[in-house]
């Protein structure tokens, strides 16, 4: 609690000083009058509350710290991120990074504890401090792919902000996610492979029953009996390798070909991926033709 809270609840100044001198309380942020009313180390929740209280009654946890609380990431932020009204400012706070906003009523969640930014506003804030567009995209994909929010809600939240870095790109990415791309790799596949080379639009995350359980195929070209699996891992562990083998075998039973691409394929060799998929689709009845995205695109070999 803060010193002010203690006094408002009936404790005298002498009583507060006595608790501190007697070691029953400890000063967490002494210059801001924030105390822990117990001895011993502070757990994570106490640390977060102390940072918020030190920044004033309208402050909220935000950015990577809010992402931690919402379940957007399993990693604790090294610094506790706090956002407070733009019209106020405080000196540096040990262990915290202070942000300022003129939209506190808009970004603050009205009910959760500890106080934090709304989930959609948390995602927007993270995109704005991301190192690059790929990292910003990953936050959007994570939020929607984990079903913590929807692309529609994110689009509404983006529309409520004036100036945003990468607005056009992020708006397009939210649209991609709304149309079924649930991961950064899927989004890249859609934009760099399908869109850039005018391939037919595959169905995303098509659900099917297999062995009493539900399976989801990343991209399915149903008319051409072709499935594309996208794997963002750098390697397979033993159990996952058998899972992938069973999935490919099940596709073969349905007379469907199963193609598999990793992060490096889609990110660094999208034209080669598009050329290979084009050849497969053409042999399976696709009447269209791909489009070369640049003068050196391997797809040109298919255009004669």
Residue 63 has pLDDT above 90, yes or no: yes
| C-alpha radius of gyration, the chain, whole number | 26
Given a contact cutoff of 8 angstroms between Cβ atoms, the answer to whether 246 and 239 are in contact is no
Higher local confidence (pLDDT), 38 or 240:
38
pLDDT at 83 over 80: yes
What whole-number distance in Å separates Cα of residue 230 and Cα of residue 266? 9
244 vs 273, residue with greater confidence: 273
> Strand, coil or helix: what is 261?
strand
Q: Are 84 and 91 in contact (CB under 8 A)?
A: no
Alpha-carbon distances of 223 from 195, 201, 228, rounded to whole Å: 18, 11, 14
Q: Strand order of the sheet with strand 96-101?
A: 60-61, 80-85, 96-101
Q: What is the mean pLDDT of the segment spanning 60-67? A: 98
Residue 263's pLDDT band, with cuts at 50, 70 and 90, is: confident
Looking at every residue in the chain, the average pLDDT score rounds to 88
In the chain, the percentage of residues whose pLDDT exceeds 70 is 89
Task: Please say if the pLDDT value at position 44 is more than 90.
Answer: yes
pLDDT-wise least confident of 53-57, 120-124, 131-135, 156-160:
131-135
How far is it, in rounded angstroms, from Cα 205 to Cα 141?
14
Q: What is the pLDDT of residue 253?
A: 47
Which residues in 197-300 belong to E strands, given as ranges?
A: 203-210, 213-221, 226-231, 257-262
User: What does the pLDDT look like over 198-254, one tens digit per residue?
Assistant: 999 999 888 876 666 777 888 999 999 999 998 754 333 344 444 554 555 455 445
pTM score of the predicted model:
0.69
- Burial grade of 14 (CB within 10 A; 0-12, 13-18, 19 or more): exposed
Query: pLDDT of 24-36, one tens digit each?
Result: 999 999 999 999 9
* Range name among 101-115, 125-139, 186-200, 222-236 with the lowest pLDDT average: 222-236
Pairing of strands 213-221, 203-210: antiparallel
> Where does the pLDDT of residue 177 fall: very low under 50, low under 70, confident under 90, or very high at 90 and above?
confident
CA neighbor of 178 nearest in space, from 145, 200, 214, 135: 145
- The mean pLDDT value for 41-52 works out to 97
Residue pair 110/55 in contact by the 8 Å Cβ criterion: no
pLDDT band at 150; cut points 50, 70, 90: very high
Task: Specify the pLDDT at position 244.
Answer: 53
Cβ atoms < 10 Å from Cβ of 214? 8
The pLDDT assigned to 197 comes to 96
SS3 category, 79:
coil
Q: With 80 as the cut, is the pLDDT of residue 18 above it?
A: yes
Dihedral pair phi/psi, residue 207, rounded to 5°: -85, 140
Q: What is the pLDDT of residue 221?
A: 95
């Amino acid at each position: 609690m803060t010193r002010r809270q203690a006094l408002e609840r009936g404790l005298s100044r002498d009583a507060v000083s006595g608790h501190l001198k007697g070691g029953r309380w400890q000063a967490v942020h002494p210059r801001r009058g924030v105390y822990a009313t117990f001895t011993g180390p502070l757990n994570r929740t106490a640390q977060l509350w102390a940072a918020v209280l030190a920044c004033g009654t309208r402050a909220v946890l935000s950015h990577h710290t809010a992402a931690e609380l919402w379940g957007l990431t399993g990693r604790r932020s090294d610094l506790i991120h706090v956002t407070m009204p733009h019209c106020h400012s405080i000196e540096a706070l040990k262990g915290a990074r202070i942000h300022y906003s003129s939209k506190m009523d808009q970004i603050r969640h009205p009910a959760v504890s500890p106080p934090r930014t709304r989930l959609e506003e948390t995602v927007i804030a993270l995109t704005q401090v991301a190192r690059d567009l790929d990292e910003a995209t990953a936050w959007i994909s994570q939020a929607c792919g984990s079903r913590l929010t929807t692309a529609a809600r994110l689009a509404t939240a983006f529309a409520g902000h004036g100036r945003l870095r990468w607005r056009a790109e992020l708006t397009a990415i939210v649209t991609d996610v709304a149309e079924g791309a649930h991961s950064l790799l899927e989004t890249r596949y859609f934009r760099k492979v399908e869109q850039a080379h005018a391939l037919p639009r595959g169905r995303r995350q098509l659900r099917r029953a297999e062995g009493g359980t539900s399976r989801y195929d990343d991209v399915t070209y149903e008319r051409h009996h072709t499935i594309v699996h996208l794997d963002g891992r750098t390697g397979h562990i033993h159990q996952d390798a058998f899972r992938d083998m069973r999935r490919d075998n099940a596709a073969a039973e349905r007379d469907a070909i199963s193609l598999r691409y990793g992060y490096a394929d889609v990110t660094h060799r999208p034209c080669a991926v598009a050329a290979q998929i084009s050849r497969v689709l053409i042999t399976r009845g696709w009447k269209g033709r791909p489009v070369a995205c640049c003068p050196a695109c391997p797809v040109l070999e298919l255009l004669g």
